[in-house]
Structure 1
Amino acid sequence: MPKDNIPIYHQTHPPDLAITEELKLERRQPADGQPVVALFNLRTGDREHLSGLYRRADAVPLQVKKPT
């Protein structure tokens, strides 16, 4: 386990957690100040991707920025 006791999931993660890209597909985003509760390490071919995982239940509706 990492030094701050943040779990790391490899290749899959619990359904109650999501990376920001998954939240965007659900038209949601992490709330202001919402902490990363775990890390997600996905290996595809010779590449690794490390992303933060957020609790889906704490996410808020996606804020669409209006053009200026």
Structure 2
Amino acid sequence: MPKDKIPTYQQTHPPDLATIDALKREGLQPADGQPVAALFKLRTGDREHLSGLYRRSEAVPLQV
């Protein structure tokens, strides 16, 4: 896989990756400058949603 190609998962993704919403529910947020590790494509009915996935291990506590 070329270095600049971001992996894309459909319907499910590895447990070490999370969307911003999932991180927030865990009291976390992406670190400053933390890159998107992968993309997550979810199809519901006739709609398709695309979200960035971040590594939980690189996330930091949520700033309020």
TM-score, structure 1 as length reference: 0.87
Q: Report the 3-state secondary structure (helix = DSSP H, G, I; strand = E; otherwise coil) of the residue aligned with 2:31.
A: coil
The answer to whether structure 1 residue 25 and structure 2 residue 25 are counterparts is: yes
AA aligned to 2:43 is R
Q: Give the aligned length.
A: 64
Percent of aligned pairs sharing the same letter: 77
Q: Deviations over 1:25-55 (max 9, x none)?
A: 1010000000001000001111111000100
Q: Which residue of 2 aligns with 1:15?
A: 15
Q: Which residue of 2 aligns with 1:59?
A: 59
CA distance in 1, matches of 2:12, 2:63: 27
AA aligned to 2:22 is E
Stretches of 4+ moved more than 4 A in 1? none
Larger Cα-atom Rg: 1
CA distance in 2, matches of 1:52, 1:29: 13
TM-score, structure 2 as length reference: 0.92
Unpaired stretches in structure 1, ≥5 consecutive residues:
none
CA distance in 2, matches of 1:22, 1:46: 23
Unpaired stretches in structure 2, ≥5 consecutive residues:
none
Measured on the aligned residues, the alpha-carbon RMSD in Å equals 1.7
